[in-house]
């Protein structure tokens, strides 16, 4: 009788674990695609990582539609509470998804910067999932004359109308190196161009 009771408790414990796990997962999925939206009123004051979903494409063959499809169907990994991504030693391509919302009633010009060398960054607008389009691309090898923002670190301009929400995809792959690590940040144009002696990478020509 004791062994039967002990077995019954094991069944009850297993059922409870399953139910709690399913409930937790259900709540996570119920948050929907807007749960990780980064709402901005000005320069980013917290961490970008938790809002940045990413996936590793070892084949290097995924296109933006493929990447967005994977992002929409799976709970992808997110960055940590930091402003730098560590992909480690690899020749793989990485994809990142970020949803931004202008939480103000005025236009919000933003700069998304990636301060590193020997990585190519390709930016897509995926707000309309049926019409993903290329916004810009650059690397440390791109001549300043061909960059919209002529600074040492790759920087993309992102405009947000009042209340507008945009979903962006960034494809990142190494050029002459075997690792993918880079600091990244989002801020306003006004804040970006403010002189900062602690950030010498912002050198204009």
Q: Which residue's structure tokens are 């075997």?
A: 178
What pTM was estimated for this model as a whole? 0.74
Residue 155: alpha-carbon gap to chain centroid: 15
The fold of the 38-192 domain, in CATH, is: Immunoglobulin-like (2.60.40)
- pLDDT class of 195 with cuts at 50, 70, 90: low
Tell me: the pLDDT tens digits for 45-54? 777 878 888 9
Report residue 125 as tokens: 């607008």
130-180 per-position pLDDT tens digit = 999 999 999 888 888 888 887 878 999 999 999 999 999 999 999 988 889
CA angle, 79 as apex, 194 and 192 as ends, to 5°?
10
């Amino acid at each position: 009788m004791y062994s039967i009771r002990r077995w019954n408790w094991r069944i009850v414990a297993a059922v409870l674990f399953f139910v709690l796990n399913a409930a937790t997962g259900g709540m996570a999925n119920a948050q929907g695609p807007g749960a990780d939206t980064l709402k901005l009123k000005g320069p980013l004051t917290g961490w970008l990582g938790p809002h940045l979903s990413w996936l590793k494409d070892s084949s290097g063959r995924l296109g933006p539609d493929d990447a967005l499809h994977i992002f929409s169907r799976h709970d992808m990994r997110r960055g940590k509470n930091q402003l730098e991504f560590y992909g480690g030693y690899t020749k793989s391509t990485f994809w990142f998804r970020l949803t931004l919302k202008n939480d103000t009633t005025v236009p919000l010009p933003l700069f998304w910067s990636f301060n590193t060398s020997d990585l190519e960054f390709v930016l897509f607008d995926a707000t309309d999932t049926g019409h993903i389009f290329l916004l810009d691309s650059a690397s440390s090898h791109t001549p300043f004359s061909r960059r919209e923002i002529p600074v040492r670190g790759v920087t993309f301009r992102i405009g947000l109308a009042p209340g507008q929400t945009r979903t962006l995809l960034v494809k990142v792959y190494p050029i002459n190196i075997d690792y993918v690590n880079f600091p990244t940040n989002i801020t306003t144009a006004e804040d970006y161009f403010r002189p900062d002696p602690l950030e010498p990478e912002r050198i204009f020509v």
